[in-house]
Structure formats: structure tokens, C-alpha cells
Amino acid sequence: MRKDLKVLELKLGTRFKNTDLLRTALVHRSYLNEHKSFPLEQNERLEFLGDAVIELIVTTHLYKKYKEAEGVLTNWRSSLVNGERLAQLAETLSVYDYMYMSKGESQDSNKKARNYILANALEAIVGAIYLDRGFNEAEDFIEKKLLIQLPKIIAERTYIDSKSMFQEKAQETIGVTPRYKVLSEIGPDHKKKFTVGVYLDKELVAEGDGYSKQEAQSVAAANALKVKHWNS
């Protein structure tokens, strides 16, 4: 039996006027393949909107509160809004328990696939909050649930992403800039999995998998840091 959305609303800290907007944010496209008469659309359009709302709110906050250079602020923003962090937030809110998915999708034990779905759903929820309650409510949600993590990110320097770190280490150690190449793409368009290789000159140092080219590049860079023992 599907859980009561009122419980999810409490966790979100938002009471929806139109609960169908929240429900739509939880509809994975696979569900509609098995339920042709379901009255709501999939969540991808809300995800598209929510992604823009999150980026605007986070960017505005960083611009107003900090005086650092653009490159530093960009790294901080990337660390805050990347798919892994959004998926972690969705996990803490138990979003997965409320999702509408096909039986096959809901039983998939692949952690990366689950995180991809959760990150997209979180963005869709923000889009739903924005449409239903307005910009200020969406801003309040982002500040309380996401921006609150920024001081820890800065203190622990986790905003230095693996790609940036590998490039920095490669340039200072051997004077070479890494390059990335897509080695394979598998799966349907809505769930395509990429394998990317990272090279130093002609040497394939490591590979990485992800559900976007950017994610696969990041994983490849993290693996390359381990291969070269450049983690510290």
C-alpha cells in the first residue's frame, strides 16, 4: 500500500495546495508504461523546472553571501547540486518510498540507477513546490535542506571534485592535461549508461561508469587518482 503523502509533506516542510503536483513529481516514466490510464504525467518536465530553480537559488545565495572568485563559487555550487548530494537528500526524506515506478524499476538493486531516479525526483519536487507555493517557499526548502550543508563542504574541502584534482595533480606532476573519451554507451535513451576512459597522452589510466557523461568522467578521475596514488 502506498504511503500517505501527508507524511512526505511533513518531511518536506511544505503543505501543498494541489497534491497532484507533488504526486506528479514522484511519477517515473516507467510507471506509465504499465499504467496507460494513469491521469498524471511523468516527472521529467517538473525535473527540468526544478533543476533551474535549484541552480538559481543556490547561485543567488552564493553571490550574496560570499566574495570568493567565480571559479570557487562554481565549485561550491557544483558540490551542492550534484546528483549524488541530491540523491542523498532524497534518501533522508524517504522519497523512494513514495515513487510511482514499474515493478522492474522498483526492484532494480543497482545503486547508481536508484540515485539517478532519486536525484531527478528531488529536482521535480522542487519544481512542484515552486509551482504550488511560489519562489519563496522553494527558496526556504533549499536553504533548510541543501544550503545548510555548505559550511561543512567548505570546511572539509569536498568541493574540490575528482576531475579538478586529477587535472591539477597531472599537470604539476608530469605536465600533462588529462583527456576523456566515451568508450561505450548502453541502454535506452532515458537510462543510458556511459563508460568513459581518462587518458594521459596515450595512456588509458582508468575507466568510470555513470548515467551521464559528466558522472562517468568524475568516476574515471576518482579511479585514476587511486591508480596514480595521487589521492593526498
* Max intra-chain CA distance, the chain: 60
Are residues 60 and 166 in contact, defined by beta-carbon separation less than 8 angstroms?
no
- Concerning whether 189 is annotated as a catalytic residue, the answer is no
Kind and range of the H or E run holding 167: helix 162-174
In terms of Cα–Cα distance, which of 58, 47, 13, 18 is closest to 126? Answer: 47
217 close to 211: Cβ distance less than 8 angstroms: no
The rounded Cα 77 to chain-centroid distance in angstroms is 12
Residue that is written with C-alpha cell 535549484 in the block: 54
Q: Is 209 a catalytic site residue?
A: no
Total number of residues shown for the chain: 232
Beta-sheet pairing, 193-200 with 203-210: antiparallel
Instruction: Check 47, 105, 123, 161 and give the catalytic one.
Output: 123
Task: From the candidates 4, 9, 20, 51, give the one annotated as an active-site residue.
Answer: 51
Number of DSSP helices (H) and strands (E) in the chain, helices first? 12, 3
Q: Tell me which residues are annotated as active site.
A: 51, 123
